Amino acid sequence: MHGARRAVVERARKTRDRAAARQVAAGREGVRRAVARRRARRALMRSVLRLQRRRLLACVPAVVLGVVGWVTTPLGRWLGWEWMQYPGRRLYAALMRGAVEERAARDAAIRAAQEDEETAAEAADEEIGDRAERPAGPVPAAPTTTTTEGVGVSGFRFEEYTAEMETAAHSYEPESAMEILAMVEGLPAALTSVANVMRILAERADSEFPLEKAVADSFSDMFGALMSAVAVADDMGPQFRQAHAQDIARHEDPRNGPEAEKGWNV
């Protein structure tokens, strides 16, 4: 009787685990795909802006040569020489032809990178997937915690490390804005490390710890959410440099040296 009841419980538990796995996997895949698509959209937008910048730059020599064409075009018609006719228009078309081809190559590379990122995300999901096996019976484990006032305290206190980071942020006194730039450009690596903590916990919860699969899936979901923050942090460095391009140039490429550049300090 006891064995039959246990078998029923095991079947119900496996059915529940499979349903939860499908639901979490769908949500996790959606998060990963959303990150890849958002990054690709931003890269494609930058590609469009780059093309428009090339278009404006192409207009300058084309207009100058077009003025010359006011003289050469009638002369070319009279002589029957096509290469002398409409030189500005020909130059603009040639410049834009190269710019359009470069944009097409950039866009293809961006879309290929998006597909690779989505494929890698799917492979990571499969790696964290259904690997946990329930033990046949109770398994004794070596004590890994200490007891303080009747509460088990783990050796890994993630909240203590993050609390220290929060305190450091409150007391942060940068010496210059360039130090802030260095901090901003280091954010993707820092957030990736935090995300990797959740990835490692997801893998160990799925393969080592005596936890339900839903817990491992939750860790994996947090990993995907933190990687979304990494995608945002990737754009902060270029945005910072673009917004403060003139200020950064004074530090990275000072006119006549740093001491001379100080003459403009106000």
Asked whether 85 and 137 are in contact (CB, 8 A), the reply is no
Higher pLDDT, 138 or 211: 211
Q: What is the pLDDT of residue 142?
A: 46
- The answer to whether 35 touches 122, Cβ cutoff 8 Å, is no
**Residue 241 is encoded by which pair of tokens?**
């440099």
Length of the chain: 266
Pick 126 or 200 by higher pLDDT.
200
Residues 13 and 117 in one domain: yes
In this predicted structure, the answer to whether residue 222 has a pLDDT above a threshold of 60 is yes
Residue 266's pLDDT band, with cuts at 50, 70 and 90, is: very low
* pLDDT for residue 25: 57
Contact 145, 152 (CB under 8 A): yes
Question: Whose structure tokens read 């097409």?
Answer: 104
Are residues 109 and 31 part of one domain?
Answer: yes
Query: Is 187 found in the same domain as 111?
Result: no
User: How much is the pLDDT for 157?
Assistant: 74
Is 150 a residue whose pLDDT tops 60? no
Residues 126 and 4 in one domain: yes
pLDDT for position 55? 82
Per-residue pLDDT, 140: 47
pLDDT at 151 over 70: no
Is-contact 229 36, C-beta < 8 A?
no
Least confident of 8-22, 201-215, 216-230: 8-22
Residue 253 covered by a domain: yes
Go through 8-43 and write b for each residue having 16 or more CB atoms within 10 A of its CB, e for each that does not. Answer: eeeeeeeeebeeebeebbeebeebbbebbeebbebb
16-46 pLDDT per residue, tens: 666 656 665 555 556 666 677 778 888 888 8
**In the predicted structure, residue 128 carries a pLDDT above the cut 60:** no
Residues 259 and 166 in one domain: yes
Q: How much is the pLDDT for 125?
A: 56
Q: Are 87 and 66 within 8 A, CB to CB?
A: yes
Judge whether 137 lies within some domain: no
How buried is 123 (Cβ within 10 angstroms: 0-12 exposed, 13-18 middle, 19+ buried)? exposed
pTM recorded for the entire structure: 0.43
Range of the domain at 37: 1-130
- Higher pLDDT among residues 236 and 19, named by residue: 236
In the numeric block, which tokens belong to residue 96? 């834009």
Note whether 71 and 30 are same-domain residues.
Answer: yes
Q: Are residues 82 and 186 in the same domain?
A: no
14 and 61 together in one domain: yes
